[in-house]
Amino acid sequence: MRGASLGALCFVLYALPAIAQMPDPRAMHGQAIPAGELPAGSVTVRVVRESVGNNVPGVPVELHVAGDMRRATTGADGRAQFASVPPGSRVHAGAVVDGERLESSTFEVPDAGGVRTILVAGLGLGAGGAPRATPTGPPASAGGGLSIGNNTRFAVEFQDDTIAVFYLLEIVNSSGAPASPTSALVITLPDEAVGASLLEGASPLATVSGPRVTIRGPLPVGVTAVPIAFRLESWGARYQLTQIFPLALDQIAMGVQRLDGLTIESPQASNVREASLSGHAFFIASGPGQPAGTPLRLTLAGLPHKSPVPLYAALALAAVVAGIGVWLAMTPGSGSDDGRRRLEARRARGLAALAGLDAEHRAGRLPTPTYDERRARLLADLERVYGALDRGGVPPGGGQGLAA
């Protein structure tokens, strides 16, 4: 199986306006949104009218930096770009649209990555001249003002002999103040998840340890990006992915690479359609939001799956080889013959153990570090056995090692 790129899949997800409702512009107006994907010292100011997506081009934008003022004009995408802003600088942006003066909050430029902000005209959010101060107030309680926002996407790809799963999470803080949950937000991935990691652009507030993704506060106002990736290495013709999140989902949007005979089903995302991009076909599923703690389920049926027959055959062969070795070791003979038979039996057991180890690793039941360590130990012992057989000597290690 050869999967399409994640970039193509995510493009399909983000390009369907019928699936994704835009976030509340009132909650986003003037707020600083960290953007790890931007070059250091970059500030992007987007100007829209009444709703996100209704871009306003050709608007002069000011960026006030440590008493100096820089100017840029919004392009067709409504964005004005500022580069080489000194890290640590406290800045704010301003613009005038149809006579309405718009101001951002004052925010600090980070040492790494850049910052995005958005100015929304036409909703009466304009300021009279002085920049708005960053909102202050008591910290939000656990989940208070926090949700997994509308721009969150779930994606599934098929890559060679694995299924790649992506949670492109955006945690939105609409409380108006940094949110400090009473405990860290923890996402426990499915038991079958292997190799979990955070993708580029993830917030430094998020960490991964095994199957657990932890997001610690305080979470800033606006969006905290937590893109997660993991893979599945074993499955049958039907597989159900189940995931519980500690925050409410504002909306559900999933993309699954389509294969011949594959069908998908989710009780939370029952609106399923097909889409294509650059010759790749996808299932797109969407649904309304759901409360925190409610399982999100996606069933994949008709999956191409790996047969367990090769694994069972390898294990059976290993058992036969080991049995022959034991039989040879128990067969009566002279003293020198007894020593050689013990070596041959030990060699047989070693080869059988090696075959079983390789089969377990190929089936995804043995982590690579453990596999590498055990395989190296088996090969070293086999080398000693072969050396003794070549010399006609006695078993090395007093008959222990593989025999144990």
Concatenated DSSP letters for 258-292?
A: --TT-EEE-SS--EEEEEEETTEEEEEEEEEEE-T
Q: Point out the domain boundary residue: 105, 121, 137.
A: 121
pLDDT digits (tens, 9 = 90+) for 272-300: 888 876 667 889 888 888 899 999 999 99
Quote the domain boundaries for residue 215: 146-301
Provide the 8-state DSSP code for 110.
Answer: P
pTM of this structure: 0.49
Q: Is residue 201 part of a domain?
A: yes
Tokens of 54: 């209704």
What is the radius of gyration, based on Cα positions, of the chain? 30
Question: What proportion of the chain, given as a percentage, has pLDDT over 70?
Answer: 77
User: What is the per-residue DSSP string for 311-356?
Assistant: HHHHHHHHHHHHHHHHHHHHS---HHHHHHHHHHHHHHHHHHHHHH
Q: Point out the domain boundary residue: 301, 326, 356.
A: 301
**35: CATH:** 2.60.40.1120
Predicted pLDDT at 389 = 75
Q: How far apart are CA 213 and CA 35, in angstroms?
A: 20
Q: Is pLDDT of 237 > 50?
A: yes
Q: Is residue 3 part of a domain?
A: no
Q: Is residue 262 part of a domain?
A: yes
Are 38 and 100 members of one domain? yes
Between these two residues, 181 and 82, which has the higher pLDDT value? 82
Are 160 and 257 members of one domain? yes
pLDDT digits (tens, 9 = 90+) for 249-278: 988 989 898 888 899 999 998 888 888 766
Closest by Cα among 265, 301, 300, 258 to 285: 265
Are 158 and 213 members of one domain? yes
Are 363 and 229 members of one domain? no
| Sheet containing strand 79-82, strands side by side | 33-35, 114-121, 43-49, 79-82
pLDDT mean over 215-233? 91
pLDDT digits (tens, 9 = 90+) for 239-249: 999 999 999 99
**210: CATH:** 2.60.40.1730
For residue 131, name the pLDDT band (cuts at 50, 70, 90).
Answer: very low
User: Which of 51-65, 78-92, 308-322, 348-362 comes out lowest in average pLDDT?
Assistant: 308-322
Burial of residue 242, with CB atoms counted within 10 A of its CB: 0-12 exposed, 13-18 middle, 19 or more buried: exposed
Question: Cβ distance 283 to 269 under 8 Å?
Answer: no
Q: Is residue 130 part of a domain?
A: no
Are 350 and 250 members of one domain? no
For residue 377, name the pLDDT band (cuts at 50, 70, 90).
Answer: confident
For residue 395, name the pLDDT band (cuts at 50, 70, 90).
Answer: very low
Q: How far apart are CA 180 and CA 14, in angstroms?
A: 30
Are 240 and 203 members of one domain? yes
Predicted pLDDT at 168 = 92
Predicted pLDDT at 36 = 82
Q: Which value, to the nearest 10 degrees, does the dihedral of the CA atoms of residues 226, 206, 240, 244 take?
A: -100
Q: Is residue 182 part of a domain?
A: yes
Q: Is residue 4 part of a domain?
A: no
Q: What is the mean pLDDT of the chain?
A: 79
Are 171 and 79 members of one domain? no
Question: Cβ distance 350 to 387 under 8 Å?
Answer: no
Predicted pLDDT at 134 = 38
Provide the 8-state DSSP code for 15.
Answer: H
Are 163 and 226 members of one domain? yes
Q: Long-range CB contacts (< 8 A, 24+ apart) of 307-315?
A: 308/363, 310/359, 310/362, 311/359, 311/360, 311/362, 311/363, 314/355, 314/356, 314/358, 314/359, 315/355, 315/356, 315/359
Between these two residues, 93 and 404, which has the higher pLDDT value? 93
Are 228 and 193 members of one domain? yes
Are 250 and 179 members of one domain? yes
Between these two residues, 338 and 200, which has the higher pLDDT value? 200
Q: Is pLDDT of 53 > 80?
A: no
Contacts of 223 (CB under 8 A, 6+ apart): 28, 33, 149, 151, 170, 171, 172, 173
Are 291 and 153 members of one domain? yes
For residue 401, name the pLDDT band (cuts at 50, 70, 90).
Answer: very low
Q: Is pLDDT of 29 > 70?
A: yes
Domains contained in the chain, number: 3
Are 350 and 283 members of one domain? no
| Sheet containing strand 185-188, strands side by side | 185-188, 212-215, 206-209
pLDDT digits (tens, 9 = 90+) for 160-175: 678 899 999 999 988 7
Q: Point out the domain boundary residue: 301, 332, 364.
A: 301
Burial of residue 182, with CB atoms counted within 10 A of its CB: 0-12 exposed, 13-18 middle, 19 or more buried: exposed
Q: How far apart are CA 178 and CA 175, in angstroms?
A: 8
